[in-house]
Amino acid sequence: MSAVYRESEQKALPATFGPSPRLRGPAWRVNEHGIETPGSMEADLLIHDPALGQVVVDAKYKASVSSGNLQQIVAYCLLLGARCGVLVVPAGAIVDRRSYLFRSSELGAIRVHVVELRTAARNVQDWKTNAAALGAELRERLGSSGSRRAAANARSDAGR
C-alpha cells in the first residue's frame, strides 16, 4: 500500500505542476576517524511554483505528522535551496490544517504545508481521481502562500 501511495503522489503532482525529478541532496557520512563517505538525502519531488520558486515534496504513509517528519522536510528545503515544503500524508492524518512556518534570523523562513491524499480506492480510476484532488489541493494551498508572499514583498518594497 505504501508503494501505491507514493507512486500516486509522484504521478499526481507532476501532472499538476509539470515534470519533477526525484532529488538527492548532498550528505556525507563521517566515521569516528573523520573519514567522509558520500551519502544522500532523497526528497520525493522538487516542483517549481511561479510565486514560491522551488517547492520540496515528501510523502509519508503515516497516521500522524511527527516533529521528525517536519525536521526532515525542513532539512530537504535547506539542502535544496527551497523556501517551501509539502508533506503529503494519508487522508485523516491532519486535524489542524494550518501550515507550519519555521523562521531563522540567519536562514530566513521556510513554510511547510501538510496535505492529504485520499487512500480509499477500489480501482485505478479512483487512485487517479484521488491523485488529481491532491494536485488541486496543493495548487490551492501554494496559491494562497504565493499571494501572501507577494503581498509581503509589496509591503516591504513600499517601506523602502
Tell me the torsion sign for CA atoms 16, 44, 75, 97.
positive
Neighbours of 62 (CB within 10 A): 13
| Domain chopping of the chain, boundaries | 2-158
Whether this prediction's pTM lies above 0.75 is answered by no
Angle at 85 between CA 91 and CA 101, to 5 degrees: 95
More confident residue, 21 or 107: 107
Q: What is the mean pLDDT of the chain?
A: 77
More confident residue, 102 or 50: 102
> If residue 140 lies in a helix (H) or strand (E), which one and from where to where?
helix 124-158
pLDDT in tens, 44-69: 888 887 777 889 999 888 888 899 99
Give the lowest-confidence range in 10-14, 61-65, 106-110: 10-14
